[in-house]
């Protein structure tokens, strides 16, 4: 009797719907998933074999309770459907996760993608707010627009073969801490791709990178360091690092020719920045609101400085290269602490109210000897205290720097890292220019034709020091 009851219970259980089963593993052929799952709604699902867009559409429509999804042993086949499956699409390529496929899956936490996946479609995992882990296969080349937008718990390692990251792909992914893409063959990053990643602290981009979209890293409020030095981008886009309030270390490549509008807008911890000589124009508001910025040095090559460039900064010193021809409206407006400008250029053309709020009669403008009369004869410029380079005074007590000669070798010791070092003769001609990135350096001056120099050093804290030295 007991045996019969036990057997009956087993038969009864086998006829019940599978909706109560937490885990399920299936082996499939393309298009079979709906018939095999029937009314089953597992929270953990592992699939093997072959699937296509019809199967993924079924998951998207009726399996939104899934928490764990393992597709690593699947291969996605190409599919041509008679009806629309995702949006207005009927044709689906092989090895691609369709656009919007898992968007808004509220319970989804872990995903293993098929090992042959080459592309993750637009918005594929958009707003999966519980998603913490995605295992990208090494075959993935493209991550589409909005792919992981709003996945605030996501932590991931980027696929080794990634070549393109779409617009808003990781926007709002608060758990991302480091975006080290230096070893990846990445060519393009779209607009706002990493914006609003609140815990992102470091970005390292590869030499293969050729394009970055607008606002790519905007509002990453805890970003500290960004290394773009190895990239080959021709332009730093508008608002690229806007409102990255803790950014203090930025390295730009020598391929960049333009810095976009608002590129560093309100990067409040940025104390100094080195503009490569390849840069021709710095866009409007690019450095506006960088309240820790105390000095700026442009290398020979920069021609235009955009509007409201230094508004909201703590600028005290500026160095203008021979190439500067135009400074746009309000560029130095509000720089009430500006007390020294060094210019190697013929008097640049000025827009409206360039020095509004600057006490020009208390600010010293150092110019080349042959330019003295031109500056004195040019309106606005002639309101400064104009002096020639040779009148730069040696500080009587500069405790930050120690300069001394050993024969023809000039030795420099600093209390802080020397970010940029330039040596001029008294005519303002550059004899030496480098970024030592250390606290000491030695320079052989035997090849310099003159004996008297002005050493200009920008330290890591942004302070600018100009010291006259003589080789005996």
- For residues 99 and 427, which has the higher predicted lDDT (pLDDT)? 99
Provide, rounded to the nearest whole percent, the portion of the chain with pLDDT above 90.
Answer: 65
Mean pLDDT of 205-222: 97
C-alpha span between 114 and 34 (Å, rounded): 19
Mean pLDDT of 166-186: 96
Predicted confidence (pLDDT) per residue in 374-418, tens digit: 999 999 999 999 998 776 666 555 678 888 899 899 999 999 899
Instruction: Quote the pLDDT of residue 387.
Output: 92
Tokens encoding 315: 């600028």
Chain CA centroid to CA 431, Å: 33
Mean pLDDT of 19-24: 62
Instruction: Quote the pLDDT of residue 248.
Output: 92
C-alpha span between 383 and 193 (Å, rounded): 46
C-alpha span between 266 and 291 (Å, rounded): 7
CA dihedral 353, 355, 359, 361 (to 10 degrees): -90
- For residues 362 and 370, which has the higher predicted lDDT (pLDDT)? 362
- For residues 261 and 18, which has the higher predicted lDDT (pLDDT)? 261
Instruction: Quote the pLDDT of residue 171.
Output: 98
Give 295's contacts (C-beta < 8 A, 6+ positions apart).
272, 315, 316, 317, 318, 319, 458, 462, 463, 464
Report the chain's mean pLDDT, rounded to a whole number: 89
Local confidence band at 154 (pLDDT 50, 70, 90 cut-offs) = very high
- For residues 278 and 13, which has the higher predicted lDDT (pLDDT)? 278
- Does pLDDT of 21 surpass 70? no
Contact 286/260 with Cβ under 8 angstroms?
A: yes
C-alpha span between 108 and 43 (Å, rounded): 9
Reported pTM:
0.83
- Does pLDDT of 244 surpass 90? yes
Predicted confidence (pLDDT) per residue in 116-129, tens digit: 999 999 999 999 99
Provide, rounded to the nearest whole percent, the portion of the chain with pLDDT above 70.
Answer: 94
Predicted confidence (pLDDT) per residue in 417-462, tens digit: 998 888 888 777 778 888 888 899 999 998 888 888 889 888 877 7
Local confidence band at 235 (pLDDT 50, 70, 90 cut-offs) = very high
C-alpha span between 312 and 204 (Å, rounded): 28
């Amino acid at each position: 009797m007991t045996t019969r009851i036990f057997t009956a219970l087993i038969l009864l259980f086998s006829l019940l719907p599978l909706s109560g089963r937490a885990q399920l593993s299936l082996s499939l052929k393309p298009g079979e998933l709906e018939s095999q799952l029937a009314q089953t709604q597992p929270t953990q699902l592992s699939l093997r074999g072959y699937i296509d867009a019809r199967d993924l559409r079924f998951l998207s429509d009726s399996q939104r309770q899934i928490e764990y999804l393992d597709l690593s042993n699947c291969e996605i086949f190409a599919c041509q459907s008679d009806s629309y499956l995702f949006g207005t699409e009927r044709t689906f390529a092989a090895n691609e996760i369709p656009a919007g496929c898992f968007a808004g899956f509220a319970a989804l936490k872990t995903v293993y993608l098929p090992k042959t996946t080459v592309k993750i479609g637009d918005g594929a995992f958009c707003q999966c707010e519980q998603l913490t882990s995605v295992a990208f296969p090494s075959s993935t080349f493209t991550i589409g627009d909005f792919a992981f937008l709003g996945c605030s718990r996501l932590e991931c390692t980027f696929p080794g073969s990634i070549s393109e990251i779409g617009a808003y792909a990781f926007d709002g992914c608060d758990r991302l801490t480091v975006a080290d893409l230096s070893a990846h063959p990445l060519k393009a990053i779209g607009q706002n791709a990493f914006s609003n990643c609140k815990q992102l602290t470091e970005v390292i981009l590869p030499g293969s990178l050729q394009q970055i979209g607008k606002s790519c890293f905007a509002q990453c409020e805890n970003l500290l360091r960004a290394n773009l030095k190895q990239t080959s981008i021709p332009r730093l886009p508008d608002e690229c690092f806007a409102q990255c309030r803790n950014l203090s270390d930025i390295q730009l490549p020598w391929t960049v020719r333009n810095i976009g509008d608002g590129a560093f807008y309100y990067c409040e911890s940025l104390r100094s920045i080195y503009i490569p000589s390849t840069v021709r124009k710095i866009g409007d508001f690019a450095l506006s609101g960088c309240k820790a910025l105390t000095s700026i040095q442009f290398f020979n090559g920069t021609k235009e400085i955009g509007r409201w460039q230094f508004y909201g900064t703590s600028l005290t010193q500026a160095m203008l290269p021979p190439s500067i021809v135009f400074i746009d409206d309000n560029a130095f407006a509000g720089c009430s602490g500006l007390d020294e400008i060094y210019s190697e250029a013929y008097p640049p053309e000025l827009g409206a109210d360039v020095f509004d709020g600057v006490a020009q009669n208390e600010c010293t403008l150092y110019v080349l000897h042959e330019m003295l009369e031109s500056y004195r004869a040019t309106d606005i410029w002639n309101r400064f205290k104009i002096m020639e380079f040779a009148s730069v005074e040696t500080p009587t007590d500069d405790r930050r720097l120690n300069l001394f000669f050993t024969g023809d070798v000039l030795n420099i010791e600093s209390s802080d890292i020397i970010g940029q070092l330039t040596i001029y003769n008294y005519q303002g001609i550059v004899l030496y220019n480098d970024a030592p990135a250390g606290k000491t350096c030695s320079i052989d001056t035997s090849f310099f034709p003159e004996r008297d120099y002005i050493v200009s050093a920008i330290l890591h804290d942004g302070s600018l020091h100009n010291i006259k030295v003589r080789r005996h």
